[in-house]
Structure 1
Amino acid sequence: MGSVMLPTLATKREIDTVIRDTLDKVLVIRFGRGSDPSCLHLDDILSRVCRDVSRFATIGLVDVDTEEVKVYVEYFDITLVPATVFFFNAHHMKMDSGTADHTKWIGSFHSKQDFIDVVEAIYRGAMKGKLIVTCPLPPERIPRFQLLFKDV
């Protein structure tokens, strides 16, 4: 599939290193499974767009079933896949998309342009020192999920 071009992060150390070492770019980490149709759709979008966003973003894939990355899966409460998490200069970037969870994007994007718009909004916000940005997409293109929060 298209994910051949995208690096797969298989250990906590690899994830820690890429978060720490990606400077002045948005780091996009897709948590998911290579066998999941939604993940395959998102991976196709990510692989087709990685060259277009390479000036301001880096993309990595994480398999949620890999034992070595369970600490991140639990920390970000990855229960639905694909889930995409964003960082900038080692800071976790959040996005208000009108959903209950601002910490990650749950689901795939409708198109390459939707992904590019989101990453550009995060990059521009991060360059202004913001840790949370408003989603630039119209509500009908934002996936909706019923989230159940534990211990709330």
Structure 2
Amino acid sequence: MSYVLRTLRKKREVDSIIRDTIDTVLVLRFGRALDPICLQLDDILSKSEREVSKFATVALVDIDSEDVQVYVKYFDITLIPSTVFFFNAHHMKMDSGSADHTKWVGTFLRKQDFIDVLEAIYRGAMKGKLIVSCPLPPQRIPKYQLLYKDV
């Protein structure tokens, strides 16, 4: 569990943080507090929070909370951790070379990678874009297999 980052367990909390975060990037990490990869990502997020606080807000969403399942289903959170980005209540997407542009799956290899991704999203959002290109080289982007149900 992160003692620095706010954890959201209710749909109402997620709704209000999305609605109320204005002119900064909202980072929502969907995962479990005790998952080792989530803990690794949470460490990077909490260590970066002060540096990105002028243009980003970071919060954790507990995917085991019954009340947030509508978001888990909506963003198709099947792999954890999954990180979703918003700007002024608009879902920000990132082309990182995978078939899924809606979220970042996995952790970041280092703190600077997370900051670089956030800066790219913020700059794109300030120009009115809803999708940006990932600034990281391909070898620093986590690889995973997308599993499609009922295909």
TM-score relative to the length of structure 1: 0.97
Match of 1:139 in 2: 138
**What secondary structure does 1:98 align onto?**
coil
**What secondary structure does 1:72 align onto?**
helix
Matched, 1:9 2:13: no
Match of 1:41 in 2: 40
Aligned-pair identity in percent equals 74
- Structure 2 letter corresponding to 1:120: E
Within-5 A mapping of 1:21-40: 21-40=20-39
**What secondary structure does 1:52 align onto?**
helix
**What secondary structure does 2:100 align onto?**
coil
Matched, 1:86 2:73: no
**What secondary structure does 1:48 align onto?**
helix
Unpaired runs of 5+ in structure 1?
A: none
Per-residue CA deviation, residues 1-32 of structure 1 (Å, 9 max, x unaligned), is 6x211001110000000000000000000000
Displacement of 1:150 in angstroms is 2.8
CA distance in 2, matches of 1:27, 1:150: 29
Match of 2:116 in 1: 117
Match of 2:148 in 1: 149
Superposition CA RMSD, Å: 0.9
CA distance in 2, matches of 1:71, 1:93: 18
CA distance in 2, matches of 1:101, 1:38: 20
Within-5 A mapping of 1:103-114: 103-114=102-113
Matched, 1:97 2:92: no
Within-5 A mapping of 1:61-80: 61-80=60-79
- Structure 2 letter corresponding to 1:130: K
Displacement of 1:148 in angstroms is 1.6
Structure 2 CA distance for partners of 1:133 and 1:37, relative to 1, 3 Å: same
- Structure 2 letter corresponding to 1:36: D
Displacement of 1:35 in angstroms is 1.1
- Structure 2 letter corresponding to 1:24: D
